């Protein structure tokens, strides 16, 4: 370990905070919808988002740094919208998800740019790879859900995702989230691997690093 902050630390922090926030409002939505099919999809995606938040916080912790609390000014509003009595279709629209999912919108893939930094270590690369795969699958799940809710949708348009598949995924994800929470709590309680107290990015003068 060096005293220098990895160049990709800000990316890890952005993902950790964004995913944790999305996990919060998707959980509020999953708990408030009357539609069991929508709830199942949201349960999977909310658990993934929360688990991503914890997994990236854990990685930041393992690298010897601290994740600061999120300063997302829009999060409280999103949680309010998600837990409100709006319809599920209105929530897709009011949370900005419909605009992201609608065909014809800008569909540029944001993920390849995350791998342009060639200094990313193996463990973080593996985490990013899993994250990207799950994010894309969550996008497909949400798109199927949104299309099924739109006026004129066929009633069976969510049949491609079976209830058993989703239930199994929810059970597996809940186990992962529980394990990740325990792991992050354990890491936070320990000193960093080099024996020094955990530090914030930029707190130390950068040292020379092997390229």
- What residues make contact with Fe ion under the rule CB under 5 A? 49
Neighbours of 64 (CB within 10 A): 20
Identify any residues that bridge with 199 across adjacent strands, giving them in sequence order.
Answer: 65
Q: C-alpha 119: how far from its chain's center?
A: 23
114/128 Cα distance (integer angstroms): 8
128/16 Cα distance (integer angstroms): 11
* Among the listed residues 43, 72, 48, the one whose alpha carbon sits nearest the alpha carbon of residue 135: 48
In terms of CB distance, is 5 or 42 closer to Fe ion?
42
In terms of CB distance, is 56 or 65 closer to Fe ion?
56
In terms of CB distance, is 20 or 158 closer to Fe ion?
20
Smallest gap from Cβ 49 to Fe ion, in A, equals 5
In terms of CB distance, is 139 or 198 closer to Fe ion?
139
In terms of CB distance, is 111 or 202 closer to Fe ion?
111
Smallest gap from Cβ 50 to Fe ion, in A, equals 10
Smallest gap from Cβ 45 to Fe ion, in A, equals 8
Smallest gap from Cβ 155 to Fe ion, in A, equals 28
In terms of CB distance, is 49 or 88 closer to Fe ion?
49
68/82 Cα distance (integer angstroms): 25
* Among the listed residues 161, 21, 146, the one whose alpha carbon sits nearest the alpha carbon of residue 88: 146
| R_g of the chain computed on alpha carbons | 19
Question: Measured on CA atoms in the order 44, 123, 61, 11, is the torsion positive or negative?
Answer: negative
Smallest gap from Cβ 144 to Fe ion, in A, equals 16
Smallest gap from Cβ 135 to Fe ion, in A, equals 5
36/163 Cα distance (integer angstroms): 10
């Amino acid at each position: 370990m060096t005293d220098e902050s990895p160049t990709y630390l800000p990316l890890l922090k952005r993902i950790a905070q964004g995913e944790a926030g999305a996990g919060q409002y998707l959980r509020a939505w999953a708990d408030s919808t009357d539609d069991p099919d929508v709830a199942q999809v949201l349960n999977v995606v909310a658990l993934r988002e929360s688990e991503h938040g914890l997994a990236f916080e854990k990685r930041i912790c393992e690298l010897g740094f601290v994740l600061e609390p999120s300063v997302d000014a829009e999060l409280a509003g999103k949680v309010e919208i998600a837990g409100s009595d709006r319809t599920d279709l209105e929530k897709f629209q009011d949370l900005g998800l419909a605009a992201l999912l609608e065909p014809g919108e800008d569909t540029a893939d944001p993920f390849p740019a995350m791998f342009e930094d060639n200094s990313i270590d193996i463990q973080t690369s593996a985490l990013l790879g899993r994250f990207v795969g799950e994010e894309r699958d969550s996008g497909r799940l949400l798109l199927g859900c949104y299309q099924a809710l739109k006026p004129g949708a066929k009633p069976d348009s969510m049949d491609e995702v079976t209830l058993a598949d989703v239930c199994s995924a929810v059970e597996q994800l809940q186990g992962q989230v529980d394990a990740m929470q325990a792991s992050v709590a354990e890491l936070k309680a320990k000193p960093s691997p080099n024996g020094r107290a955990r530090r914030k990015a930029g707190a130390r003068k950068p040292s020379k690093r092997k390229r």
